[in-house]
Structure 1
Amino acid sequence: MAFDNNKTYELPKKYKYLKDLGEGSYGVVVQCLNTDTNKTVAIKIPKLKMLYDSEMKSMRMLMRRGLNRRNIVKFHESFSTMNGEALVFENLGINIQSYIDKGVRGQMMLSDVRTITVQIATALNALKEIRVIHRDIKPDNVMLVDETRPFKVKLIDFGFATSTSLTKYGEILQVPCFRAPEIILGLRYSEAIDMWSVGCTVFYMLTHRLLFRGRTAYDILNQIIETCGQPPNHMLNEGKYTAEYFVKTKKNGWRLKTPKEYWGNNVKDRPRRQFTSLDDLQKEGMNTHEPQQFKQCMELIKAMLKIDQHNRITPCDVLRHPFVTQKNQTKTRASTSVRPLDFNPSAAPLVDLIAQTKVIMVQPASPENTMQLKPLDLNPSAAPSVDLITQTKVIMVQPASPENTMQLEPLDLNPSAAPSVDLITPTKVIMVQPASPKNTSQLEDTEREVRLQAEPKKTPEVSKAQPPPPDDGKETKKKKKNCCQRFFAWIRKTFRCNQVGVMGVICSETS
């Protein structure tokens, strides 16, 4: 037995009473020292019989699944008392409600709101995976482990938790100020009611004001409609309590009852509203030092407070929301700043560099292999469009004109300076459109052709007195043909090994 101001607590011998932590209509929470482990614990002792039996079963199931590692309070054990099972939990700090109440400005920093929101969403995501609904989320049930930043929080009080398969049609749950519209209307509900409560909680942390406040469900529903809009007809048609708050219209729709229609002659004053929409809060100029982050937070709250539960954001999507991932995006932008490329092959392999930057490095041409080319006369009707190249992965090359050709020397590729292109994409394949008959010609062996073209031609000696033969045009055509042959022979020799790798990279980039 433990005694404190005429209070008697049934405690096992290993627990030494320290102080009361809180008391409610259903039970009391006391802080004790476990003398076996020398650790402080919080013990929840019931006032009514069989009160915490359901919570005990829920906590044992959650601990078997290891959810204490996902921002849910750790449950140690239970022991019997005259009023039922007492539950032993890890000792935590104060709840969000108490932290805000003792604050000087009455609201939390935006960074703290983000940190706590992430952890609540993590806990709800874990519950959703095992199809469990908390059903009583509010600032009192979100506990700070301690008051040091960055805050670490845990979700507590699973006395109303249940499986989604055990939900009952028309149940009245949740505190009125954090109650989802589907509960007010008496609809079938899901884990989405927890997300609605989280939206109200995040708003409270941000402003220290209740978004929806009133003495009755009618007051709350009236403010929900003013702020978020009226529930759609399919919700009102299925609601068990719709007729209590709404009136059927001539167009087979619904309208909310007036205060006189709802209260009759005993009309009560409506709670005073500080704003009528979430957009009004942004107009007040709060948190002007972080306007973008504040706007993202308001967008997240709007997503949590969708009237239709099927359109409400899920815990998994909360963890991917821009307001939550903002720090990670900032780090990413800082780490992906442009840096000068290091073209030292020993320091950065070419294959890795291309995979990361999608840039192909080309060896500069030597001076003897460069010339000024005339602009090509591309006929749009004859040249295929870029879309055709993208779809078919075929690159059509316009034949070079005689004036744009010359005999080039083979490039001296230094393997140490530039890795072979074949190493880049050894398995890539390029599809080449067959050449038309007019663009084909029989080419002789490459080396022989180049050698013959390099040697001066031996022409028979002609008498000085004999006039040169007349030029009938055949000699000019022959020169042009030899020039084309030399050009294509050089192309075959230079790019025979490299065309598959290089063009494969081009095709993979376009696809």
Structure 2
Amino acid sequence: MSWIHFRSVNRIQSDQNMSKKGRRKMEVFELMEGHYLVGNQGIYKVQEFLGQGSFGKVAKCTKLGSPECYAIKIMKSSWAGEREFKMMKLIKDLDPDENHLIKMYEWFPFQNMTCIVYELLDVNLHDSLMNEVQLVHLCWIRVIAQHLLKALKALKSIGVAHCDIKLDNIMFAELDSVNVKLIDFGLAVETKKLSTETKIQVTPFRAPEVILGLPLDESVDMWALGMVLASNKANHVINLDAMMHEHRDMFEAHDDDDHRAFIDLLKNMLEVNPQNRITPIQALEHDFITMKHLAGKSKAMYAGTAEEAMGKTPPSEAQVNPSCFFVPVPSPGKCRG
């Protein structure tokens, strides 16, 4: 195997980029498909780039000698990479599958970059919603809500706030399944270190106390999750009062009491006063999640559908019928891992 030779581009020649002490000129390296990254636990080959942002890029990679695929976050800033790795170390003892958190395998510096190796997930919630022509059915919203509430409960137990919950940072873990995980801990912080001057959350999901410069705690994540669950396509929040009528017209499987329970949960999650906002443990015991309100013969058919979605009974054909429910759209060419 031949070792990677990065292509040097745009050698910096401007005097403005030279220090007064005459520091040597720096080179900027361009990472391309087919290049190799040498980690601590193996050598990874870049197959394709899955996305990019101000931080750098995310690449789908294979590890030499293994059939597994990985998502490697490649950051231009060593400070940002080390900060995210520090947060991931804090949550490493939390079961990533049970608590619906992305799994990290290793961190390593390479050339002028910082790399964090994560499990490869499927598609994020934002992209899935953009591929849908209808609203998400409540049976699937309940599954997503339960999974993310478990994630918030786990983070709260170790005193960590995610601080960047949004549609893009929620991903489906497996092909053709409603099993979601919380990703991207680049802005996560220990709750005790949150201050009124902390710049967190994107505007559509920003909690009132962040906007107003009030004391902060992990309840900012509960507000953001409430906004996620209430969101429709392209981050536009739908009218809660109109939601019930829209779903009644759109879905054959519909129950007004279930919608009332959902709206009640949302109102508790979107409580303006963070001191009165529902906690993850309380939310997991809410009727919308436990489905206590669906007991009785008159609701047996709808309750059965809801239980199937929650994985409490074997799935039926109706559970995965796109004409009745929301089904995540998988990304092509996903590797196992």
Q: Work out whether the TM-score is over 0.5.
A: yes
Alpha-carbon distance, 1:297 to partner:
1.1
- Closer/same/farther in 2, CA of residues 211 and 295 from structure 1, 3 Å limit: farther
Q: How many residues align?
A: 265
Match of 2:111 among 82, 87, 94: 82
The yes-or-no answer on 1:195 pairing with 2:195 is no
Question: 2:140 & 2:276 partners in 1: Cα distance?
Answer: 27
Q: Which of these residues, 233, 245, 250, is aligned with residue 208 of structure 1?
A: 233
Q: Which has the higher contact order (CA 8 A, sep 6+)?
A: 2
Specify the alignment match of 1:15 in structure 2. Answer: 44
Note closer, same or farther for the CA distance 1:69–1:83 as it changes in structure 2 (3 Å cut): farther
Deviation at 1:61, TM superposition (A): 2.2
Distance in 2 (alpha carbons) for counterparts of 1:41 and 1:133: 25
Counterpart-to-counterpart distance in 2, 1:39 and 1:165:
38
| Aligned pairs (5 A) from 1:81-160 | 81-105=110-134, 107-149=135-177, 151-160=178-187
The residue identity in structure 2 corresponding to 1:166 is K
Q: Which residue number in structure 1 is paired with residue 197 of structure 2? A: 170
Residues 309 and 211 (structure 1), Cα distance of their counterparts in 2 relative to 1, 3 Å cut: farther
Identity within the alignment, %: 33
CA contact (8 A) 1:62 1:68 kept: no
Q: Is 1:296 matched with 2:321? A: no
1:286 aligned partner? 247
SS at match of 2:230: helix
Alpha carbons 2:102, 2:119 under 8 Å: kept? yes
Note the C-alpha offset of 1:49.
3.6
Moved over 6 A (4+): 331-334
Tell me the residue number matched to 1:488.
none
- Tell me how far apart the structure 2 counterparts of residues 192 and 23 of structure 1 sit (CA, whole Å): 29
One-letter amino acid of the counterpart of residue 233, structure 2: H
The one-letter amino acid paired with 2:184 is D
Task: Give the CA deviation at 1:197.
Answer: 0.3
Equivalent position of 1:315 in the other structure: 280
CA distance in 2, matches of 1:2, 1:99: 37
- Report the equivalent of 2:15: none
Shift of 1:101: 0.7
Select which of 46, 50, 63 maps to 1:34.
63
The answer to whether 1:186 aligns with 2:213 is yes
How far has the Cα of 1:74 moved from its partner?
0.5
- Give deviations 1:72-108, integer Å, cap 9, x for gaps: 0000001112344210001100000011111232x22
CA-to-aligned-CA distance 1:56-81 (integer Å, 9 cap, x gap): 01112211343453110000001112
User: Contact (CA 8 Å) 1:172, 1:184: kept in 2 or not?
Assistant: no
| CA distance in structure 2 between the partners assigned to 1:331 and 1:48 by the alignment | 57
Q: Distance in 2 between matches of 1:20 and 1:211?
A: 28
Residue identity in the other structure for 2:241: D
* 1:453-472 per-position Cα deviation (integer Å, ceiling 9, x unaligned): xxxxxxxxxxxxxxxxxxxx
Instruction: Quote the offset at 1:19 in angstroms.
Output: 1.1
Partners of 2:36 and 2:45 within 8 A in 1: no
CA distance in 2, matches of 1:211, 1:302: 17
Query: Contact (CA 8 Å) 1:50, 1:84: kept in 2 or not?
Result: no
Is 2:76–2:114's contact at 8 Å kept on the other side of the alignment? no
Between the aligned partners of 1:66 and 1:328, the Cα distance in structure 2 is 30
The structure in which a higher percent of residues are strand is: 2
Report the alpha carbon displacement of residue 164 of structure 1 after superposing the two structures with TM.
1.1
TM-align CA RMSD: 2.6
Q: CA deviation at 1:172?
A: 2.5
- Matched letter for residue 260 of structure 2: K
SS of the residue 2:288 aligns to: coil
Q: What is the correspondence of 1:205-244 to structure 2 with a 5 Å cutoff?
A: 207-208=232-233, 210=235
Task: Spell out the pairing of 1:339-358 with structure 2 (5 A cutoff).
Answer: none
How far does residue 17 in structure 1 lie from its aligned partner after superposition? Answer: 1.8
1:397-431 deviation per Cα after TM superposition (whole angstroms, max 9, x unaligned) = xxxxxxxxxxxxxxxxxxxxxxxxxxxxxxxxxxx
Q: Any idea what the Cα deviations from partners look like across 1:2-50, whole Å, max 9, x if unmatched? A: 889x743661172122111111111100001112432111000012342
Structure-2 change in CA distance of 1:7 and 1:86 (3 Å): closer
Q: Which has the larger radius of gyration?
A: 1
Q: Do 2:166 and 2:228's aligned partners in 1 also have CA atoms closer than 8 Å?
A: yes
Cα 1:331/1:92, change in 2 over 3 Å: farther
The amino acid of 1:117's aligned partner reads A
Post-superposition shift, 1:293? 1.3
**Cα offset, 1:120, TM superposition:** 0.2
Q: Distance in 2 between matches of 1:173 and 1:81?
A: 29
Query: How far apart in 2 are the matches of 1:285 and 1:138?
Result: 24
